[in-house]
Structure 1
């Protein structure tokens, strides 16, 4: 470890390792795989950045957080470390330059989004490289028992074996014991190499304040006005609520801005920069804010709405006080928030009939086929994330095999006149190019070319058209833009469709139950009178030996009582609204679950165009299960 310590000091400018870092780095340098479960701000990144400089070959870092990739690559390059990233923000020229650096062995670290690992060309390149280490950030996403399951993550363990990764480092801040066990099992990590530091952070004072919905705003304003210069994050559930609350805080004299995924990227970046510079003191955000943001002096985190799980809560409060200075984390516990969070969960569960129809369709497309997730989502009224989950499970069960994505449509702009382009080639090649361009639709500036349709019309392999376009762009003759991504697959077997459909339907029901259970755990935490950090430590398999002495439970011992949820009995007018909607016979609302989602204000692919309908969201204040039960009863199904 002397070499590691020397590197820590000479390259990273640090004098000593933090808790857990040395143990993880020691395992990796010994050629072993490891799991690092450190709290937010606990120094996980160094655990792969430093070994990357001492291990032969490339370190491949898989992360879903573009902001984190951008920040870390910039910081590494500033230290003279050969690092690069591949994500959706990179141009074609930038991607080609990274590929060149990879082939030349010039890079030590490469950051990629998990989706990049579906690209057949990229995988082919990786298989020819020596990959000394694969670091998987946010590794809890690999576990179907985790709180933030992502289908692309499920295939990472298999992929690591296919590209002959020498060792793996899985990293997360929020793994319960069962999730940690699942991660270790999938990556073949010995239990002794599960390195977990304590979850307790003594500089964070945790508070829970039971309150009704109309009490939250004045409490929040008082808290923010008490320390007007402090950097604070206020977490809310809905994008519209972020905008509204930020406006209310501004009216109270607080330098607040809203931040959510519905904003344009340049707007989000500007707000983030203002917050980092101290020009904005408070950001009112959905969970889109804070992932990978390295601001050490956040003094307060407020949860204006309940978080959807204790894992989310732990991750979000972890953004406070990363400089070690005292900070406060306040949860405004209002049970009425539960309804919106529950309804989000119900909105993701597909109707079993739609799920079976999707699988039947996929397996009827032939031995080799390609699909667009967006098209399937609209056709079967299943959200895109759920479509991707189904495709992933079909791959893992050996029913289909992915062959990588491709873009169906290329837009071409001629940088030199088309006649001049053709004049540079012999008669046969010029004829091919002329026919290819003729298969497109010429607009005022751009020629739109559906490559698959053009290939069929010309009787040529699609690959020939793609190579021609790429070559012309490299020569500076044309500029291209791509759109319409499609996924390619091969059918490997035709299983019992009814059994497969039932199995996958049960999987989504189980995930729905897990999400609802996690929400109940948040309520239990808020009501439990025991030390708050001790509760959180216990949930994550850690032990706090004595009460913290500074949380709201320790300062005010005794049980907490949350306000009762409002009465949810359906009125006569609401029942009439259900009957009226059923009588319309809308094609997109034929299934009871579609009707219930629509009435609760949960948009789905098939009902998106109906969102201005008077009945949309008219029962948003009612529990989804109650609305679904009433819909089924009025349809004669219950």
Structure 2
């Protein structure tokens, strides 16, 4: 997954008792400072006094001295005090409402509180670990923090070897206060292990885009379900979850996952009085062009135009250039360097208009974005709310225009219909998984799976495959995802490997030195063979390799990730047992598909209903307008007192000749959905394998209803 993309798309289950005799850290909640046992009653009184009297003062002083701000906004101060009191917290603020301060200020406050409470942390004050899915957000925030003299870094794929070395050294020396990383970083065995033993401990784990943990969220990502375990395994002292788009149901899921009490949930209404919510409906896509050109001429200033497809971004940006507008495009398919360059140009107002997919904008802190344009219908109300929240953060009037036509629904249906596998595919997948050989390991009975191989073999996209595997764990209790492994380890001697390895008398060092075979300049280590011969724990060997890498002794490379699952109870074996799960899973995924389509309809209803847009948006998130108002007074509905009406869409006659062409081009006849996807233009692993996406028939019946195509094409 590209780390700029919030909507495209594990963690360790390591037996720590087997790794170290004690994993308590000095100064952590379950560790005692030397010489304090006799004065425990006095300590309680001191801590209580500090919490009640001084936490707010400490937070305000940091806000003023380090961030140059005079006062907190909305619910920021209450959320920060909740964290500083040691309570897990959920923050639901709209985009631009200052969620990041809710963990940045505590990250700097912990050291002051330790001093006031006379708590000694010999290993250092610890760090705040921020999990964010976006390189853009991490880059912006760390750059801004560094400019303020705050020690912060991000560990991501754009960092050079030397930069990663510096970050590791700063962590070991206790110099960093905030470390940003992506959820994908938590796949890394070495990173998970290093976070367990970071000097001073992980004082706070901040989880951005926390709505991704909920199956009822608009961008559910099963990987997020494992973050709660990660928090426990690294013994994070406190957790703060942050999101701009949590409905009441989603908020409940987040609270359950991270043990957040309702009293520690802080919400701010998504209503922004300076945002002018506007909408227009057209008969065809082509009719949108003159409307967009006129809008951009009448409304100057920095502008984001959101489209659905990467090709759309490129084509529309070119159209705007030809009309004399200063525009460029941005999407997840571009190289990281290109994306970062465009982001920098937009942030510095060197380009006025960026036509982008949802890959752009997350974490972009540009206060003077004057216009947000939705060229296509948003996939969900949450997505729409998140994107318009990027406008007008300086408080000045800003326009948020949405264009809508019937063609938009076809595009959204394409996305929704691509994730549901056929029963045949699902049945084959489960038979394969349940009847595989189980391996006995230190963690228990283990199943190793290649997600890529399963996706390819059974024609199931990566995202629904991860949902299926998560469901086998969460609903059926059959298997639990644990830390993935890399099958290949290679390293380059950076100058001191031989000396260090010979002097290190640990069994792990001696085993690595013995089994590392040099080929050209790279040493290759067969970890599996080494463990089988020596009986060592894999975690110990991997930790030592990463320690040598972090200290500059070697340059380590890993490849060939294997996902691992610990078997929790006997797996179904008979056809009847497997079939019951197939039917249940397939019904659940069908419901998920219909839910995705319904979410798009919710966006359309917000625009076409006889109701104030701002009120409808606030009510979607379980809130209302300030002072109980029933209208904002400045959206399209409030100004016109008329709902936007979508022009009628004439029915399309079934193209029998087109259906015949699809059947003649596809030899595969065992799956009606497969044929329908070819006709509608929906890619899948199998379609790509057979190169059917290159055939003229691919997408030739995109104007037909999908369910009609399934029936007609197959029968």
Question: Is the TM-score greater than 0.5?
Answer: yes
Q: Which residue pairs with 2:83 in the alignment? A: 28
Matches within 5 A, 1:432-451: 437=517, 451=526
Q: Which residue pairs with 1:514 in the alignment? A: 595
Q: Does residue 617 of structure 1 match 2:702? A: no
Matches within 5 A, 1:428-507: 437=517, 451=526, 481-496=557-572, 497-507=578-588
Q: Does residue 248 of structure 1 match 2:319? A: yes
CA distance in 2, matches of 1:374, 1:191: 40
Q: Which residue pairs with 2:484 in the alignment? A: 405
- Superposed displacement of residue 547, structure 1: 1.5
CA distance in 2, matches of 1:234, 1:153: 29
* Structure 1 range deviating more: 404-413 or 174-183: 404-413
- Superposed displacement of residue 150, structure 1: 0.8
- Which of 633, 638, 658 matches 1:554? 638
1:52–1:59: 8 Å Cα contact kept in structure 2?
yes
Q: Does residue 220 of structure 1 match 2:302? A: no
| Residues 436 and 62 (structure 1), Cα distance of their counterparts in 2 relative to 1, 3 Å cut | closer
2:168–2:550: 8 Å Cα contact kept in structure 1?
no
1:236–1:284: 8 Å Cα contact kept in structure 2?
yes
Q: Which residue pairs with 1:77 in the alignment? A: 146
Q: Does residue 307 of structure 1 match 2:378? A: yes
- Superposed displacement of residue 140, structure 1: 0.8
Query: How many residues matched?
Result: 622
- Superposed displacement of residue 12, structure 1: 1.2
What whole-Å deviation, never above 9, does each CA across 1:137-158 have from its counterpart, x for those lacking one?
A: 1111111001010111112233
Q: Which residue pairs with 2:57 in the alignment? A: 2
- Superposed displacement of residue 315, structure 1: 0.5
* Structure 1 range deviating more: 141-150 or 489-498: 489-498
Q: Which residue pairs with 2:456 in the alignment? A: 378
2:612–2:638: 8 Å Cα contact kept in structure 1?
yes
2:609–2:643: 8 Å Cα contact kept in structure 1?
yes
CA distance in 2, matches of 1:358, 1:365: 15
- Which of 111, 116, 137 matches 2:180? 111
What whole-Å deviation, never above 9, does each CA across 1:331-383 have from its counterpart, x for those lacking one?
A: 11112210111111110112233223223322313133433322221111111
CA distance in 1, matches of 2:427, 2:485: 26
CA distance in 1, matches of 2:265, 2:162: 40
What whole-Å deviation, never above 9, does each CA across 1:63-84 have from its counterpart, x for those lacking one?
A: 1112111221222233232323
CA distance in 2, matches of 1:379, 1:45: 42
| Residues 607 and 456 (structure 1), Cα distance of their counterparts in 2 relative to 1, 3 Å cut | farther
Question: Partner of 1:206: helix, strand, or coil?
Answer: strand
CA distance in 1, matches of 2:373, 2:206: 32
CA distance in 2, matches of 1:237, 1:414: 46
For structure 2, list consecutive stretches of 5 or more residues without a partner in the other structure. Answer: 1-55, 115-125, 439-444, 573-577
CA distance in 1, matches of 2:107, 2:493: 43
2:662–2:678: 8 Å Cα contact kept in structure 1?
no
Q: Does residue 49 of structure 1 match 2:121? A: no
CA distance in 2, matches of 1:147, 1:395: 21
CA distance in 2, matches of 1:79, 1:432: 43
- Superposed displacement of residue 395, structure 1: 3.8
- Which of 665, 689, 692 matches 1:581? 665
Question: Partner of 2:418: helix, strand, or coil?
Answer: helix
- Superposed displacement of residue 62, structure 1: 1.6
CA distance in 2, matches of 1:292, 1:472: 34
What whole-Å deviation, never above 9, does each CA across 1:382-407 have from its counterpart, x for those lacking one?
A: 11122222333334354223342333
Matches within 5 A, 1:13-162: 13-55=68-110, 57-91=126-160, 94-95=163-164, 97-128=166-197, 130-162=201-233
CA distance in 1, matches of 2:266, 2:79: 7
CA distance in 2, matches of 1:623, 1:448: 57
Q: Does residue 601 of structure 1 match 2:681? A: yes
What whole-Å deviation, never above 9, does each CA across 1:549-603 have from its counterpart, x for those lacking one?
A: 1111111112331112342332121221233235x34xxx632112211221111
Question: Partner of 2:387: helix, strand, or coil?
Answer: helix
| Residues 459 and 359 (structure 1), Cα distance of their counterparts in 2 relative to 1, 3 Å cut | farther
- Which of 617, 627, 649 matches 1:536? 617
What whole-Å deviation, never above 9, does each CA across 1:241-272 have from its counterpart, x for those lacking one?
A: 11111111111000111111111111111211
Question: Partner of 1:329: helix, strand, or coil?
Answer: strand
Q: Does residue 565 of structure 1 match 2:637? A: no
- Which of 341, 356, 362 matches 1:285? 356
| Residues 33 and 353 (structure 1), Cα distance of their counterparts in 2 relative to 1, 3 Å cut | same
CA distance in 1, matches of 2:207, 2:147: 23
| Residues 226 and 495 (structure 1), Cα distance of their counterparts in 2 relative to 1, 3 Å cut | same
| Residues 485 and 514 (structure 1), Cα distance of their counterparts in 2 relative to 1, 3 Å cut | same
What whole-Å deviation, never above 9, does each CA across 1:470-506 have from its counterpart, x for those lacking one?
A: 7997898975544332223333322333333333323
Matches within 5 A, 1:298-377: 298-363=369-434, 364-366=436-438, 367-377=445-455
Question: Partner of 1:169: helix, strand, or coil?
Answer: strand
